[in-house]
A and B are shown apart, each in its own frame.
Chain A
Amino acid sequence: MEYRGVTKSFGDLEVIKGIDLRLHAGEKLAFIGPSGSGKTTLGRMLMTLEQPTTGTLTIDNEPIWQMKDKRGNWKAANEAHLRSIREKVGMVFQHFNLFPHLTVERNVTLALTSVLNLSKEEAIGRAESMLEKVGLLDKLRNYPSQLSGGQKQRVAIARALVMRPKVVVFDEVTSALDPELVGEVLAVIKEIAKEGETAMMLITHEMDFAREVADRVIFGAEGLIVEEGTPEDIFERPQSERLRTFLSRL
């Protein structure tokens, strides 16, 4: 996955001012930085929820927002192309965005049956083993409104991972949680990270977590990448003044 010269503006406001970035298969990348630094927008672009203003985003060397027509000329991506891209990407949202009218089980199996066309039995089997991993096998029949915030987020993680995407965007997944519920969600993510197959883009405010899970940490501010390196580089030997200030304020 690669960002090349990506910028994004909302009206007159330029939130991403030129990002070049690569993410390798299975890599865990943590994105830290002050709010308003455009971290979330980067993740949403990968999920095809936002279109970059300029620059290109590619997955497996395939541009997300462009496709070749029959004659081999580039043109804007259509829904079918975007859907083939979305097979490779998953996302966990800050506010969970579970489907409130569906049970936990149906939340997790909906895309399995309607997108991957799995049989009901197969889908339920996959959903159950995924929910077991996040420790919520006993909540299959419950509705989201009957769960705590931490449980909701764990369901959302199961829902994204059950599709077996190549990369999952975790967009500030603990920011909307009560402090005492943060731990259970982070533990689940760490567990999944250890298995290693899925690449992760962790947009987060939890520094200890970033340090423990990430292979590489990126510090961004005001729409630019300020510094990047291993967790040790970033947290032990910050180079820039901005990063030092940012870390000291935590």
Chain B
Amino acid sequence: MIQVIGQWLPYLMQGAWVTVKITLLSGVVAMLFAMLSGLGKLSSLTPVRWLASGYIELFRAASLLVLLFWVYFALPIAGLELSKTWSAVLAIGLNIGAYGGEIVRSAIQAIPKGQYEASIALNLSPLTRMRSVILPQAIVRMLPPMGNLWIEMLKATSLVYFITMADLTYEAMILRNNYYTDTPIIFGLLLLIYYVLASCIAAPVKWLERKLTAWR
């Protein structure tokens, strides 16, 4: 048995690398859109606010898998052909980014009013107010929900199986074709690997949280 698993591992590792890559790339897109839309929703400019809440509402209402299909299969008809990787990164990043936008907004809104007032009283510029006073405190509040969001993102990458990207899930399905009788073990192993990957996200988030809250 051990030997057979040893034969599987190289394939699974290859798939895991694709999964990790998609997670990280989508993560960058998602965090960028989360910041932009979260801050945009609090902007004093009405059009910016509308744009940000329009994005958040639309992409939270969309079904991720359908979005992925649309980006990969339908968008090329409209003239925009993206590689599998970029289709996946764009669909997952935009979808998760909308949830992240709400996290950013609520973390910033949770900063007590007194902090704004004190920074006005000290005559800090709006930029310094945000950068030195509000964001450092808001980021600490964002960390736990953002950590969970990254785990959601990791799980969401399994959907790239549908557009035949050779991620962890896809590799496991191919193994299953070759080792049909071992199906339960393959899927069990697959679940375990995802669990380990999720723990790899949770641990540094916990560490960062402790580090950033030294002042509490």
Direct A/B contact, Cβ within 8 angstroms: yes
CB neighbors of A among B72-124 (8 A): 112, 114-115, 117-124
A247 interface residue (CB < 8 Å to B): no
B124 touches A114 (CB 8 A): yes
A180 interface residue (CB < 8 Å to B): no
A115-B117 CB under 8 A given contacts A100-B137, A100-B216? no
A90 touches B125 (CB 8 A): no
* Residue in A48, A49, A102, A111 whose Cβ sees the most chain B Cβ within 10 Å: A111
A110 touches B132 (CB 8 A): yes
B207 interface residue (CB < 8 Å to A): no
Q: List 4 additional contacts besides A49-B121, A91-B118, A115-B122; criterion CB under 8 Å.
A: A110-B122, A114-B124, A115-B128, A163-B123
Report the interface size for chain B: residues with CB under 8 A from the other chain.
22
Number of inter-chain CB pairs below 8 Å: 74
- Give the nearest-CB partner of B214 in chain A: A143
A93 interface residue (CB < 8 Å to B): yes
A39 interface residue (CB < 8 Å to B): no
Chain B interface mostly: helix
A86 touches B121 (CB 8 A): yes
B126 touches A115 (CB 8 A): no
The chain B residues found within 8 Å of chain A, CB to CB, are 112, 114-115, 117-126, 128, 132-133, 136-137, 140, 214-216
What is the distance, in angstroms, from A34's C-beta to the closest C-beta of chain B? 23
- Give the nearest-CB partner of A159 in chain B: B122
Contacting B123 at CB < 8 Å: which of A93, A115, A144, A145? A115
B121 touches A101 (CB 8 A): no
A111-B115 CB under 8 A given contacts A101-B136, A145-B215? no
What is the distance, in angstroms, from A155's C-beta to the closest C-beta of chain B? 11
- Give the nearest-CB partner of B122 in chain A: A111
A236 interface residue (CB < 8 Å to B): no
Contacts of B133 in A (CB 8 A): 99, 110
B123 touches A87 (CB 8 A): yes
